[in-house]
Amino acid sequence: MILIKLGGSVITDKTQYRTFNRDVVSRLCGEIRDSGANTIVVHGAGSFGHVLAKEYSLQNGFADFRQVPAVAKVQHDVRELNLMVVGELLGAGMPAVSVPPGSCFMMDCGKLIMDNPEVLLSASRLGIMPVMFGDVVFDRSKGFGICSGDQIMEVLCDLYCPKKAIFVSDVDGLFDKDPKTNPDAGLLTEVTSERLEKVSGVGIADDVTGGVRAKMESMLRMTTPERECVLVNGSVPGRLCSLLKGEKVISTTAKGGLR
């Protein structure tokens, strides 16, 4: 089985509030289907979650009651996004169902805790694909917090023990510098914990879930001698499908764990 995280940067326009990239998502769902791989999909919140979450500092937990309407609105928005993603998966012929993170998870001081795995396991035993997503989840210590798609991927790796975890983004992989501002940036085809420490410019958080460094650290934590984690560009047609089939594509592979 392969876990796939469809990043918010590829399924939405993160600069425009509530902007869904339907054509891209439809194509990616078709690629997942055409690969023939046994998969489970998680997706990010993108512009359906990060805009309001950042404005009201929801990632820091409860501070005052002015945040409460924003919590409700973000939960509403990301569920709407999730249903659109599920709709595209269904349209591609895959039996996908929405599973809100709060139905399975709690948080405590920002740490994601698997509270009820039976929901996920029951679906997958029947051949139904549970589709989870970045969301606001209640936190035992902080009131609430941001549960990112990357955190969900880590917990699902422990639950399902997949042979591979794929992170689909809008860049070719990890670069030694930000490729969007540095034309001479070089792609790193393989990243270890030691190599990540030497990469410049990846420590800047670009959203409420921690940015590129947090993603790579999460990927490294998921690696084992039997499992690799791959960052691939979903904006390029065919790349995800090829990767799912086991073919070599332009990407970055995380190896060796996080030290």
pLDDT per residue as tens, the chain (259 positions):
999 999 999 999 988 899 999 999 999 999 999 999 999 999 999 999 999 999 999 999 999 999 999 999 999 999 999 999 999 999 999 999 999 999 999 999 999 999 899 999 999 999 999 999 999 999 999 999 999 999 999 999 999 999 999 999 998 988 887 777 888 888 999 999 888 887 755 444 445 545 677 788 899 999 998 899 999 999 999 999 999 999 999 999 998 888 6
CA 253 to chain CA mean position, Å: 16
- Give the closest residue to 123 by CA, choosing from 94, 81, 150: 94
Q: What letter would DSSP give residue 103?
A: G
Structural domain harbouring 221 = 2-254
Which pLDDT value is given to residue 205?
A: 41
Which pLDDT value is given to residue 207?
A: 53
Tell me phi and psi for residue 75, to 5 degrees.
-60, -40
**Number of C-beta neighbours around residue 36 at 10 A:** 10
Assess if residue 138 is contained within a domain.
yes
CA distance 9 to 32: 18
Assess if residue 140 is contained within a domain.
yes
Which pLDDT value is given to residue 197?
A: 83
Assess if residue 98 is contained within a domain.
yes
Which pLDDT value is given to residue 72?
A: 98
CA distance 128 to 143: 32
Bridge-based pairing of strands 164-169 and 2-6 is parallel
> Number of folded domains in the chain?
1
Which pLDDT value is given to residue 203?
A: 42
CA 189 to chain CA mean position, Å: 20
Q: Identify whether the C-beta of residue 42 lies closer than 8 Å to the C-beta of residue 149.
A: yes
Assess if residue 259 is contained within a domain.
no
Which residue type sits at 107?
A: M
Which residue do the tokens 């046994």 mark? 38
Assess if residue 193 is contained within a domain.
yes
CATH of the domain at 78: 3.40.1160.10
Which residue do the tokens 């012929």 mark? 93
